[in-house]
Amino acid sequence: MHTLTVDLADRTYPIHIGKQLIGNSTLLAERIRGRQVYVVTNETIAPLYLDAVLSSVQGYQVDTTILPDGEQHKSLEVLNRIFDGLLTARHNRTTTLIALGGGVVGDMAGFAAACYQRGVDFIQIPTTLLAMVDSSVGGKTGVNHPLGKNMIGAFHQPRLVLADTDVLHTLPERELAAGIAEVIKYGLIADHKFFEWLEENMDALLQRDEQALAYAIKRSCENKARVVALDEKEGGVRAILNLGHTFGHAIEAAQGYGQWLHGEAVGAGMVMAADLSHRRGSLSAGDLARTTALIERAGLPIKAPADMMPEDFLSLMGVDKKVLDGRLRLVLLQAIGEAVITTDIEDALLQETFAACRGQ
């Protein structure tokens, strides 16, 4: 088992990565402060892992909400079901919410924990690669609004993350690839060596080699934890974690949430960011080619949907929360391993990227 620490003063917490962590009652008990536990999961994950979690929290009052599966249910309305459940079962301010599932479950359970009685503890047990390397680290929680993704939310740090690599064996292929998109992102923005490691080990990851997966998760979480510790509430440097996300969110919104997986949209979005970076003269042709090739090898889309026009992108990027004071703000690349945040975007080059990255 690898253990990392996310260093955030009085909100510091451990991430354990390894086999057979779901159902480890000792690791849970160390980080549960009260006598009530509330498990939030979804209808896909519940039959697979809910029993294992329940058996590891015996001796507590335990209640559960099982959400419908999918990004389209990440709404204020569905969130309210968690509050209904908590209040009906009379959970008090000392309760601990456990998020058992992918990013959607983690974001919703985390936001419910942030708001319930103005804040209670929560624990993440991510069941997708994407949730392990991204959403379970850093404390971003929230729900979508019909006019924009993650527009309603809070920063709320978990007390513990248990990343059990055993669950990745049941993960559908598309979801594995979607997780790898965020893994590649860490290489692109800040870790050239890790990018090279990924070029060497992409086949092992796709074949779900245990050691390769554990290493990729650890290195990703280390990268993210370092950035989050520098800038918990995204006042500055943390924004580099959004590489590919402004384009990606526009794709998700245009297609309706749940059609493209988040990681798939980020995959195409990172290619768009790399393409624009190259057109602006900052990323070399070689680095653009390597970036595109690695994303493609992971089984991710490298083109935006064919029916998305430039004006669709611009309109949807205009309400993205990465827009600063009405100006478009993007994370771009200087080189593999080196990201830069800029508001100085030439409209003509952006139009060229839309044209070049549109699917057939």
Active-site residues, by number, are 118, 140, 182, 224, 234, 238, 242, 245, 249, 262
Rounded CA-CA distance 128/124 in Å is: 12
Rounded least distance, CB 148 to a copy of itself, Å: 6
On whether the CB atoms of residues 18 and 164 are closer than 8 A, the answer is yes
Rounded CA-CA distance 167/131 in Å is: 12
Rounded least distance, CB 38 to a copy of itself, Å: 14
Question: Which among 337, 330, 335 has a CA at the least distance from the CA of 189?
Answer: 337
Task: Please identify, using beta-carbon distances, which residue of 149 and 218 lies nearer to a copy of itself.
Answer: 149
Rounded least distance, CB 326 to a copy of itself, Å: 7
- Listed in sequence order, the residues at least 6 apart from 340 whose beta carbon sits closer than 8 Å to its beta carbon are 282, 331, 332, 333, 334
Task: Please identify, using beta-carbon distances, which residue of 83 and 197 lies nearer to a copy of itself.
Answer: 83
Residue 331 CB-half CA count within 13 A: 27
On whether the CB atoms of residues 124 and 63 are closer than 8 A, the answer is no
On whether the CB atoms of residues 39 and 53 are closer than 8 A, the answer is yes
Rounded least distance, CB 338 to a copy of itself, Å: 25
Residue 101 CB-half CA count within 13 A: 29
Rounded least distance, CB 240 to a copy of itself, Å: 16
Rounded least distance, CB 8 to a copy of itself, Å: 15
Positions in the binding site for a copy of itself (CB under 8 A):
34-35, 76, 80, 83-84, 87-88, 90, 92-94, 114-119, 140, 142, 145, 147-148, 150-155, 233-234, 318-319, 321, 323-326
- How many residues are there in the chain? 360
Task: Please identify, using beta-carbon distances, which residue of 29 and 289 lies nearer to a copy of itself.
Answer: 29
Question: Which among 49, 27, 177 has a CA at the least distance from the CA of 101?
Answer: 49
Task: Please identify, using beta-carbon distances, which residue of 283 and 328 lies nearer to a copy of itself.
Answer: 328
Task: Please identify, using beta-carbon distances, which residue of 110 and 248 lies nearer to a copy of itself.
Answer: 110
What is the per-residue burial (b if ≥16 Cβ within 10 Å, else e) of 332-354?
bbeebbbbebeeebeeebbeebb
- Listed in sequence order, the residues at least 6 apart from 310 whose beta carbon sits closer than 8 Å to its beta carbon are 350, 351, 354, 355
Task: Please identify, using beta-carbon distances, which residue of 100 and 113 lies nearer to a copy of itself.
Answer: 113
Structure tokens at 23: 């159902």
